Chains A and B, each alone.
Chain A
Amino acid sequence: DTEVTQTPKHLVMGMTNKKSLKCEQHMGHRAMYWYKQKAKKPPELMFVYSYEKLSINESVPSRFSPECPNSSLLNLHLHALQPEDSALYLCASSFPRRGNTGELFFGEGSRLTVL
């Protein structure tokens, strides 16, 4: 199994809603990432979890709240978002640290629209 699965594929929410994005991988990876991507732009790193601990937070607003319940799951909780938060949210995983080639495996993304 070499997949990273993200749900939902599409999400439309109002600025007062609370929703969550989910990501799952069963490749034994111990590093999981959230990226935000605008059209025709590179992914922007939001958060990194390494061995289920938050290791990198790229100064993301608190309306985005990540959670890593176990080594296979990664959630992104959304609350009081702004229209400019509309984007494709990509989850990725990799083997962390040294000793592996370490490339990122990406999910298909969740297309978020904030009204």
Chain B
Amino acid sequence: AQTVTQSQPEMSVQEAETVTLSCTYDTSENNYYLFWYKQPPSRQMILVIRQEAYKQQNATENRFSVNFQKAAKSFSLKISDSQLGDTAMYFCAFMKLSLVGNQFYFGTGTSLTVIP
């Protein structure tokens, strides 16, 4: 079975500063995907960034980047130049490829507050 652990239930960061959210996972799979999703108080879950396990290069999307350490099974999210709109719950997710439909496993989430 796959497990995803987010050890930081709550975090805060000053506007314009950088913050890193941690995520670790446990799996015996070799081919999988990892995601960070953001859920603002308005509630829609939005994809922030994805990482394919077979790619060594860390994914980057504008101010968001990941540090993917496959051997350590670690997948942290770095948010640079934090903005007030980054205030949200952040969920790390593991996706296992499956013939019956890709299966997703979510971490417990980190509530991030950006302070003006």
Specify which chain B residues have a CB less than 8 angstroms from the CB of A109 in the assembled complex: 43-44
Give how many B residues have a beta carbon under 8 Å from the other chain's beta carbons: 28
A56–B100 Cα gap in the complex (Å)? 8
The tally of CB-CB contacts under 8 A between chains A and B is: 67
Is B106 positioned at the interface, with any CB of A under 8 Å from its CB?
Answer: yes
Asked if A50 and B100 make an inter-chain contact with CB atoms under 8 angstroms apart, the answer reads yes
A55–B103 Cα gap in the complex (Å)? 11
Give which listed residue, B47, B89, B102, contacts A40 with CB less than 8 A.
Answer: B89
Asked if B33 and A103 make an inter-chain contact with CB atoms under 8 angstroms apart, the answer reads yes
Which A69-115 residues have C-beta < 8 A from chain B?
A: 88, 90, 92, 94, 96-98, 101-109
Asked if A97 and B97 make an inter-chain contact with CB atoms under 8 angstroms apart, the answer reads yes
Q: Closest Cβ of chain A: how far from B62's Cβ, in Å?
A: 17
Stretch of A16-24, A41-49, A59-67 lying at the B interface: A41-49
Q: Closest Cβ of chain B: how far from A58's Cβ, in Å?
A: 11
Q: Closest Cβ of chain A: how far from B115's Cβ, in Å?
A: 19
A106–B44 Cα gap in the complex (Å)? 7
Q: Closest Cβ of chain A: how far from B4's Cβ, in Å?
A: 9
Is B111 positioned at the interface, with any CB of A under 8 Å from its CB?
Answer: yes
State whether A102 and B95 are in contact (beta carbons under 8 Å apart), knowing that A40-B109, A50-B101, A55-B101 are contacts in the complex: yes
Specify which chain A residues have a CB less than 8 angstroms from the CB of B89 in the assembled complex: 40
Binding site for B on A (CB under 8 A): 31, 40-43, 45, 48-50, 55-56, 88, 90, 92, 94, 96-98, 101-109
